[in-house]
Every structure is written in structure tokens, then in C-alpha cells.
Amino acid sequence: MQTTPRAARAGLSLLEVMVALTILGTALIGMAEYGRRFANTNARAMTQNTALDIATDRLERVKAERNYTTMDTLAGTHTVTVNTGGVNVSYTRTTSILRTLSSTIDYKTVTVTVTRPTMTVPVKKTSAVPRF
């Protein structure tokens, strides 16, 4: 019986195939995890940006109020629904207005806080509005 030298044989051994499949599987699992984390981070950033837009819009609306004395009527808590990608998403917007009055100064501090159950940290924007 004649044996062929190892160099003359063609193909891969079972061990080589298993090692290659293990390396490929590990790389694919890593890429899938990266994709999951990317999608999760992207969704959180979109939620934060929408909340920031809601807070900015409300703050600008309060600052644009022409009557300084009736500005306080804009304070309160409201539910704001935003259509994001065909899905309605609800946020809670709280507007607080605090007046600081002394013999030399008179201004109102407006704070808008926007929350949503999936947000870990609420979005807050604050501005001072002087008496005009």
C-alpha cells in the first residue's frame, strides 16, 4: 500500500474548518452586538433631540409673550404628542415661571422640563426674562 505525502493531499481538515467557522461566528456575533448598540444609542439620541426641541419651542413661546403680567398663565404641565416616523410619541412638558422682584430688579426665570418614561434623564432648559 502506497501513502501519498501530506503536501499532495487537497482540501481542508475538519479541524481547520471548525476553527474558521468559530472565528467567523465570533466576528458575526460582534457585528450584531455593534448593530444593536448603535440602534439603541440612535433611538435614545432621537428621543433626547425631540425633547430638546419641545423644550426650546416652549421656552421661545414664553419669551415671545407680549404681556409680562400674563406670562404666568403659560406655566403648567401638558402632554405633547410628536409624530416620529409614523408613530405618535408622547412627552410630558412642565413649564414653571418664578418671579424675582426687588427694588432694583424684576425678572422671571422660566424653566421647561420635558420627560418621557424611556428617558433616563429629563431635558431641562432655563432662561431669564426681564421686565420690558
pLDDT at 52: 96
Give the C-alpha separation, 5 to 58, whole Å.
81
Residue 5 DSSP code: P
Domain 13-130's class?
alpha beta
pLDDT at 2: 61
Residue 35 DSSP code: H
pLDDT at 108 over 90: yes
Q: For residue 132, how far is the Cα from the chain centroid?
A: 36
Give the start-to-end residue ranges of the domains of the chain: 13-130
Whole-structure pTM over 0.85, yes or no? no
pLDDT at 8 over 80: no
pLDDT at 10: 74
Residue 4 DSSP code: P
Are the beta carbons of 74 and 95 closer than 8 angstroms? yes
- Name the strand (E) or helix (H) holding 56: helix 14-63
Q: Which residues of 65-86 are buried (b: 16+ CB within 10 A; e: fewer)?
A: beeeeebeeebeeeebeeeeee
Q: CA distances (Å), 13 to each of 18, 20, 22, 27, in order?
A: 9, 11, 14, 22
**pLDDT tens for residues 58-87?**
999 998 888 888 899 999 999 999 998 888
Residue 54 corresponds to which cell in the numbers above? 419641545
pLDDT at 5 over 80: no
